[in-house]
Amino acid sequence: MEKYEFVPKGVCCRKMVVSVDNGIVRDVEFIGGCPGNTLGIASLIKGMKIEEVVSKLDGIKCGFKKTSCPNELAKFLKDIK
The DSSP line for 11-59 is SSEEEEEEEEETTEEEEEEEEES-HHHHHHHHHHHTT-BHHHHHHHHTT
Half-sphere exposure of 9 (CA within 13 A, CB side): 3
Nearest to residue 80, comparing CAs of 52, 50, 57?
A: 50
* CATH number reported for the structural domain that contains residue 11 in this entry: 3.30.390
Q: How many domains does the chain have?
A: 1
pLDDT at 62: 92
Domain with 36, as residue range(s), is: 2-80
Tens of pLDDT, residues 39-54: 999 999 999 999 999 9
Q: Please list the pLDDT of the chain residue by residue as tens digits (81 residues).
A: 999 999 999 999 999 999 999 999 999 999 999 999 999 999 999 999 999 999 999 999 999 999 999 999 999 999 986
Q: How far apart are CA 47 and CA 23, in angstroms?
A: 10
Type of residue found at 23? G
